[in-house]
């Protein structure tokens, strides 16, 4: 009898030890490597979530920043799994104000593809040449309209940055370094956009001031395709970057030139320029020295800066090559709540105000517009393209693709999946090689679905979708087009005739020759 009791007690322990050993050995799930055995609870809850939610807690569309449905789409796309949903929408369409409706055309010259693989292997290039209008020596047409947004090494772990860069290489898209400089983790072969923040990490002199020679030295030998001067970020505009002390590891301290373990707070404003005039001087100086397209990233608040920029650019001799608009709903590794919630405009409002200023001055063809702010899902991205975005950047969606579970502990250095921490044990669970494939799958699938929606509307490229092609439901059985909501006259939001002709010709093989496969793991 005693023997039997012992066996009954031992069996679960042996079982748990076996599961723990497997969890530590496997490389697919960072969460299980970091939290053997107990990590399975999360997967179990995810699997039976829909059934549980029939009785308790939130529904599929309630959680923020990304709803359960949105995360499920990203996870399934990243894993190369079936990302379809069944039984029809669970959204209360007519009673949800602001819900977007993309309007399909019955007859169109661009025939929608029936192949599941359509566009998956196509790069879906930009409709504009970045730096082309200003004649930059290294102007280029980005291969992908979807790119990885700025996230510094520091806010992200080394393995996460490696996964992002290798994923960008596999997907043929750009990877923005973020303001924490360019580290060895960024050198996995993916094309880069080097970001210059207010602390000038990676491009500063011994007094912390911007140094052009230091910038040239830092980017030498790396596939940097463009330079982005960060003015502000949607989640914390008017505040400099903030890396909490626990995340300032010796490696990060060395790359940034700061003390280990101490909060790293960047200044709120630049010291290398103090107004639009001096900013444009710096833009031209960097562009001349590097040959690269140079742009700015900013959230939108007071419009004075933008009016000034338009007026200076109207003279024609100086100008930015691209403008990245970050919405107030954008993400961050850490920020005061009031800033994330209440400073700077949401993407669509901010973007359209800035775009309108450039459109009225006839300058939209000279600038590549990039949008960011929770638009890493096809229907949200389509709205941005309709409003005049040429490229879109994704940050948190890319984090989800490499394993983030939206635990929202990025500022504590206790990220359970190893994405946003410098803790050795936790980062050890994240396999960069495997996660890079997940990022690439997410971006490829995203482009594929963008292309499908584009074909549904009956045009050759997302950039050719107009503000008449998307309605926003008003929550009271009515709908208004994006044109009505944002007051766009005819022609706004579209590339020039020459750019339209060029991108339509480039897309012809994609729309007629449809083949491809998905990378799996
Ligand atoms: C962890 C994290 C780190 C970030 N670091 C930077 C940064 O260094 N520079 C920057 O301009 N934006 C930074 N951002 C903002 C993103 O680049 C992006 O603009 C914003 O999150 C909106 O995109 P999303 O909604 O796809 O996340 C960061 C965002 C996150 C989540
Ligand atoms: S899992 Fe949580 S802590 Fe880690 S990156 Fe995602 S939101 Fe941040």
3-state secondary structure 8-58: HHHHHHHHHHHHHHHHHHCCCCHHHHHCCCCCHHHHHHHHHHHHHHCCCCC
pLDDT-flagged residues of the chain (< 50)? 54, 513-521
In this predicted model, what pLDDT tens digit does every residue of 249-271 receive, in sequence order?
999 998 887 889 988 888 999 99
**Element of type H or E holding 371:** strand 368-372
**Tokens 């949800």, residue located:** 96
CA of 393 from ligand 2 middle (Å) equals 19
Q: Which atom of ligand 2 is nearest to the CA of 412?
A: 3
- Residue 65, preceding peptide bond in cis (omega within 30° of 0): yes
Please, which residues bridge with residue 372 across strands? Answer: 326, 393
pTM assigned to the model: 0.92
CA of 413 from ligand 2 middle (Å) equals 9
CA of 395 from ligand 1 middle (Å) equals 5
333 three-class SS: coil
Give the tokens for residue 433.
Answer: 């090689």
- From CA 213, how far away is CA 81, in angstroms rounded? 47
Ligand 1: which of 65, 149, 412 to mutate, judged by most atoms within 8 Å of the beta carbon?
A: 149
pLDDT at residue 514, as a whole number = 36
CA of 326 from ligand 1 middle (Å) equals 9
- From CA 312, how far away is CA 282, in angstroms rounded? 14
Q: Which atom of ligand 2 is nearest to the CA of 333?
A: 8
CA of 414 from ligand 2 middle (Å) equals 8
pLDDT at residue 120, as a whole number = 61
Q: Is the CB of 376 under 6 A from ligand 1?
A: yes
Ligand 2: which of 407, 414, 418 to mutate, judged by most atoms within 8 Å of the beta carbon?
A: 407
- From CA 487, how far away is CA 136, in angstroms rounded? 33
Mode of pairing for the β-strands spanning 368-372 and 391-394? parallel
């Amino acid at each position: 009898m005693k023997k039997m009791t012992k066996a009954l007690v031992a069996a679960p322990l042996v079982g748990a030890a076996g599961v723990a050993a497997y969890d530590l050995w496997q490389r697919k799930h960072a969460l299980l490597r970091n939290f053997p055995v107990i990590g399975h609870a999360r997967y179990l809850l995810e699997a039976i979530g829909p059934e549980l939610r029939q009785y308790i807690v939130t529904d599929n569309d309630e959680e923020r920043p990304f709803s359960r449905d949105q995360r499920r789409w990203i996870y399934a796309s990243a894993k190369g799994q079936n990302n379809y949903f069944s039984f029809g929408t669970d959204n209360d369409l007519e009673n949800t104000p602001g819900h977007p409706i993309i309007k399909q055309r019955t007859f169109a010259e661009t025939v929608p593809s029936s192949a599941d693989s359509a566009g998956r292997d196509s790069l879906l290039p930009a409709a504009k040449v970045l730096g082309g209008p200003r004649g930059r020596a290294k102007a280029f047409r980005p291969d992908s309209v979807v790119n990885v947004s700025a996230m510094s090494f520091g806010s992200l772990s080394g393995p996460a940055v490696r996964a992002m860069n290798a994923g960008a290489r596999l997907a043929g898209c750009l990877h923005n370094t973020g303001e924490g400089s360019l580290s060895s983790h960024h050198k996995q072969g993916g094309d880069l956009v080097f970001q210059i923040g207010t602390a000038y990490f990676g491009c500063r002199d011994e007094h912390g001031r911007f140094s052009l020679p230091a910038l040239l030295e830092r980017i030498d030998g790396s596939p940097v395709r463009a330079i982005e001067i960060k003015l502000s970020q949607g989640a914390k505009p008017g505040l400099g970057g903030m890396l909490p002390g626990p995340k300032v590891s010796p490696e990060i301290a060395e790359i940034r030139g700061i003390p280990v373990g101490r909060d790293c707070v960047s200044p709120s404003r630049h010291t290398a320029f103090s107004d639009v005039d001096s900013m444009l001087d710096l833009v031209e100086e960097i562009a001349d020295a590097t040959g690269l397209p140079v742009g700015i990233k900013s959230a939108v608040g007071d419009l004075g800066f933008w009016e000034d920029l338009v007026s200076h650019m109207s003279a024609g001799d100086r100008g930015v090559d691209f403008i990245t608009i970050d919405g107030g709903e954008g993400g961050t590794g850490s920020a005061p709540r009031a800033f994330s919630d209440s400073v700077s405009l949401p993407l669509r409002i901010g973007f359209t105000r800035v775009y309108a200023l450039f459109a009225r001055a006839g300058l939209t063809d000279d600038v590549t517009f990039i949008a960011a702010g929770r638009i890493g899902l096809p229907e949200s991205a389509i709205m941005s393209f309709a409003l005049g975005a040429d490229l879109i950047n994704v940050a948190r969606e890319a984090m989800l693709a490499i394993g983030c579970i939206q635990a929202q502990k990025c500022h504590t250095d206790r990220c359970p999946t190893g994405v946003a921490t410098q803790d050795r044990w936790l980062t050890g669970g994240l396999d960069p090689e495997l996660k890079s494939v997940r990022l690439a799958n997410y971006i490829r699938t995203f482009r594929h679905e963008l292309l499908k929606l584009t074909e549904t509307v009956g045009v050759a490229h997302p950039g050719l979708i107009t503000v008449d092609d998307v309605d926003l439901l008003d929550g009271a059985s009515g709908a208004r087009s994006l044109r009505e909501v944002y007051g766009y006259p005819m022609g706004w939001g579209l590339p020039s005739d020459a750019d339209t002709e060029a991108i339509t010709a480039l897309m012809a093989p994609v729309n007629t020759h449809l083949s491809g496969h998905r990378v799996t793991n």
